[in-house]
């Protein structure tokens, strides 16, 4: 097998916002097919599509009502097949977003499960009696606010939901549920998809004894914005049984040859450790990512600790790194206190060991859209406004041409607005422009593809004071020295044992003196094994 996923660059498409072709203001599968040339020209290896399955869309498709279909808003199965054929023709793999931990309450399985405690699917979801005083069975909390339990009058029990009350958790302690979900994955594998991104991959199992989650001692006294953050989620998720189901998934994938599983890990401080555990060996996930790089932390120490920490725990595991996705503030805005970080971020991300996820618009240096409350669709944003504005700001439409109506996304009224700051960062305005963020991404992806050490090599961090991050990527005799100035002020450093400043660059080399621009970087060829970076 080629193991195409090792070192791959995976481009995340948010279908609602990529390209609309029928004028209803919502992106669709024909729109994705139309724009796949952009992804191929960028140099990506694969696309990951956020959910396109039938759904009431209360959580924008992450509440699935049919795991083996296409929601009419996106098109049809024929449209999907056409998109898949076009992607494969361009050399792109296709990964689908599988939301397996929960379904929509509109799914026929849940309707049957809630109908009676004697129904054949009665145990397909997590049901429990209340405590003697009528309160929920445990203190588990929902990520979207309030208890993770909802009372159902029809069944006269509580059901578990880690997210919206319309997203009931499936009961993976029931083997029939496991079999059903594996069958749904087999449906898409038979259609030719190349892999799956697994939403909340550490949420499948809960503690059958229904023990309370303890308070997180590190957060005692902290003024948290969401109650969920106050708990250490030891019993509500990330249970040991999860591993066994991941192994069943991996066995299914292995039946189909060169396919891949990418798991999303959601668990605060333990995320790197769980990533390592879930990708260790040859029988679990192929790769995993977490939110370690998707938060406010932006420093040499943070990057080094997360990357080194992963490989210390799982030398044979495989990480995926991302700086932006559909759930977090875009990194060009999140780290804007450092200045213009778009090119630095691209260079850093694409020189890290492991695989990479790019989020649509990232290659344009796209920024977070500032939305008013009445413009929101995201339930999380509406719940926690105005302290937290939710996820809509990173989900606004892709801007193809800033001079066109709605950025060239739709001829109708878009489901979320395209505002002037976002329209200013378009594909058309950056196409062929030297120094543009788009052309920088293209150059970096081409460099990554051309240098085996950047795609498959190991990493050795060099001693360097904050805010300088330095490491060597090496595979056999091939090596690249990567140096980054993680600050908005110029930094001079002395480089001993390396020459040949490679393009693209954000630095000037004079002898062995390297002058790093604000948020500058340099990729160099080491001339000896013992490379040193000395900062003034």
- Please give the torsion angle defined by the CA atoms of residues 53, 59, 65 and 66, in that order, rounded to the nearest 10 degrees: 20
CB 110 within 8 A of CB 154: no
In a domain, 135, yes or no: no
By the 10 Å C-beta count (0-12 exposed, 13-18 middle, 19+ buried), 89 is classed as exposed
Asked if 476 and 352 sit in the same domain, the reply is no
In a domain, 22, yes or no: yes
User: pTM for the complete prediction?
Assistant: 0.97
Q: What is the model's pLDDT at position 504?
A: 59
> What is the number of H-type helices and E-type strands within the chain?
14, 20
Asked if 407 and 531 sit in the same domain, the reply is no
Each residue's pLDDT tens digit in the chain (536 positions)? 689 999 999 999 999 999 999 999 999 999 999 999 999 999 999 999 999 999 999 999 999 999 999 999 999 999 999 999 999 999 999 999 999 999 999 999 999 999 999 999 999 999 999 999 999 999 999 999 999 999 999 999 999 999 999 999 999 999 999 999 999 999 999 999 999 999 999 999 999 999 999 998 877 777 777 889 899 999 999 999 999 999 999 999 999 999 999 999 998 778 889 999 999 999 999 999 999 899 999 999 999 999 999 999 989 999 999 999 999 999 999 999 999 999 999 999 999 999 999 999 999 999 999 999 999 999 988 988 988 899 999 999 999 999 999 999 999 999 999 999 999 999 999 999 999 999 999 999 999 999 999 999 999 999 999 999 999 999 999 999 999 999 999 999 999 887 777 665 788 888 888 999 999 999 998 887 788 888 76
Asked if 379 and 301 sit in the same domain, the reply is yes
Q: Is 223 among the catalytic positions?
A: no
Q: Which of 28, 71, 169, 199 is catalytic?
A: 199
Asked if 476 and 436 sit in the same domain, the reply is no
Burial 200-235 (b: 16+ CB within 10 A, else e): bbbbbbbbeebeebeebeeeeeeeeebebeebbbbb
Query: Of 383, 418, 448, which closes a domain?
Result: 448
Strand pairing report for 478-485 and 468-475: antiparallel
Query: Of 418, 448, 478, which closes a domain?
Result: 448
In a domain, 16, yes or no: yes
Tokens of 118: 């004697």
Asked if 326 and 371 sit in the same domain, the reply is yes
Q: What is the model's pLDDT at position 512?
A: 85
**Element holding 28 (H helix, E strand):** none
Asked if 424 and 297 sit in the same domain, the reply is yes
Asked if 341 and 444 sit in the same domain, the reply is yes
Asked if 396 and 475 sit in the same domain, the reply is no
Report the number of distinct structural domains present in the chain: 2
Q: What is the model's pLDDT at position 162?
A: 98
Query: Of 448, 475, 500, which closes a domain?
Result: 448
Tokens of 280: 């260790």
Integer distance in angstroms from the first to the last C-alpha of the chain?
A: 48
Q: What is the model's pLDDT at position 43?
A: 98
Asked if 285 and 411 sit in the same domain, the reply is yes
Q: What is the separation of C-alpha 52 from the centre of its chain, rounded to a whole number of angstroms?
A: 16
Which whole-number Å values give the CA distances from 200 to 9, 51, 108, 263, 271, in the listed order?
21, 13, 22, 7, 12
In a domain, 433, yes or no: yes
Q: What is the 3-state secondary structure (H, E, C) of 159-199?
A: EECCCCCCCCEECCCCHHHHHHHHHHHHHHHHHCCCEEEEC
How many other CB atoms are found less than 10 A from the CB of residue 444?
A: 23
State residue 152 phi and psi, 5-degree precision: -115, 115
Tokens of 313: 């725990």
Q: Which residues contact 305 (CB under 8 A, 6 or more apart)?
A: none
Q: How far apart are CA 123 and CA 132, in angstroms?
A: 22
In a domain, 239, yes or no: no
Which residue, 184, 168, 35, 193, is CA-closest to 104? 168
Using alpha carbons only, what angle is made at residue 303 by residues 302 and 305, rounded to the nearest 5 degrees?
65
Burial 149-162 (b: 16+ CB within 10 A, else e): bbebeebebbbbbb
Q: Is 255 among the catalytic positions?
A: yes
Q: What is the model's pLDDT at position 503?
A: 61
Domain of 319, CATH number, reads 3.20.20.80
Asked if 388 and 514 sit in the same domain, the reply is no
Range of the domain at 43: 9-96+263-448
Q: Which of 133, 255, 477, 536 is catalytic?
A: 255
In a domain, 527, yes or no: yes
Domain of 494, CATH number, reads 2.60.40.1180
How many other CB atoms are found less than 10 A from the CB of residue 367?
A: 22
Asked if 280 and 369 sit in the same domain, the reply is yes
In a domain, 154, yes or no: no
Q: How far apart are CA 176 and CA 109, in angstroms?
A: 12
Asked if 294 and 367 sit in the same domain, the reply is yes
Q: How far apart are CA 509 and CA 112, in angstroms?
A: 69
In a domain, 126, yes or no: no
Cis peptide before 98 (omega within 30 of 0): no
Q: What is the model's pLDDT at position 507?
A: 86
Q: What is the model's pLDDT at position 265?
A: 96
């Amino acid at each position: 097998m080629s193991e195409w996923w090792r070192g791959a660059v995976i481009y995340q498409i948010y279908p609602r916002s990529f390209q609309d072709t029928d004028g209803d203001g919502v992106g669709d599968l024909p729109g994705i097919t139309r724009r796949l040339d952009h992804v191929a020209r960028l140099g990506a290896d694969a696309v990951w599509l956020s959910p396109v399955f039938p759904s009431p869309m209360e959580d924008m498709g992450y509440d699935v009502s049919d795991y083996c279909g296409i929601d009419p808003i996106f098109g049809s199965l024929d449209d999907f097949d056409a998109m898949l054929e076009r992607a494969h023709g361009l050399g792109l793999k296709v990964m689908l977003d599988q939301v397996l931990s929960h379904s929509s309450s509109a799914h026929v399985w849940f309707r049957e499960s809630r109908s009676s405690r004697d129904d054949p699917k009665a145990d397909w979801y997590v049901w429990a009696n209340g405590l003697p005083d009528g309160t929920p069975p445990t203190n588990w909390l929902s990520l979207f606010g309030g208890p993770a339990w909802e009372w159902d009058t029809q069944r006269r029990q509580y059901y578990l939901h880690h997210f919206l009350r319309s997203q009931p958790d499936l009961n993976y302690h029931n083997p029939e549920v496991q079999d059903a979900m594996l069958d749904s994955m087999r449906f898409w594998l038979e259609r030719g998809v190349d892999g799956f991104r697994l939403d909340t991959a550490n949420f499948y199992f809960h503690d059958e004894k229904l023990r309370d989650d303890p308070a997180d001692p590190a957060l005692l006294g902290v003024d948290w914005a969401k109650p969920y953050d106050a708990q250490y989620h030891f019993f509500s998720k990330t249970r040991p049984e999860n591993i066994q189901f991941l192994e069943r998934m991996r066995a299914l994938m292995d039946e189909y040859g060169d396919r891949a599983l990418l798991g999303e890990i959601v668990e605060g401080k333990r995320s790197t450790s769980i990533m390592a555990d879930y990708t260790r060996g040859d029988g679990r996930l192929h790769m995993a990512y977490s939110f370690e790089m998707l938060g406010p932390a932006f420093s040499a120490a943070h990057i080094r600790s997360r990357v080194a920490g992963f490989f210390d725990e799982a030398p044979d595991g495989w990480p995926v790194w991302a700086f932006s996705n559909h759930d977090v503030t875009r990194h060009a805005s999140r780290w804007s206190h450092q200045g213009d970080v778009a090119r630095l971020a691209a260079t850093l991300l694409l020189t890290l060991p492991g695989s990479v996820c790019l989020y649509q618009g990232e290659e344009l240096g796209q920024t977070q859209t500032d939305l008013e409350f009445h413009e929101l669709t995201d339930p999380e944003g509406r719940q926690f406004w105005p302290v937290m504005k939710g996820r809509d700001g990173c989900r606004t439409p892709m801007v193809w041409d800033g001079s066109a109506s709605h950025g060239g996304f739709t001829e109708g009224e878009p489901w979320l607005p395209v505002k002037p700051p976002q329209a200013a960062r378009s594909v058309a305005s950056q196409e062929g422009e030297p120094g543009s963020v788009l052309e920088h991404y293209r150059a970096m992806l081409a460099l990554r593809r051309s240098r085996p050490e950047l795609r498959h090599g190991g990493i050795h961090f060099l001693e360097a004071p904050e805010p300088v991050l330095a490491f060597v990527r090496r595979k056999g005799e091939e090596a690249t020295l990567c140096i980054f100035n993680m600050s908005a002020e110029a930094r001079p450093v002395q480089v001993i044992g390396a020459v040949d400043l490679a393009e693209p660059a954000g630095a000037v080399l004079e002898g062995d003196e390297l002058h790093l621009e604000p948020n500058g970087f340099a990729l160099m060829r080491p001339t000896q094994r013992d490379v040193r970076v000395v900062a003034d």
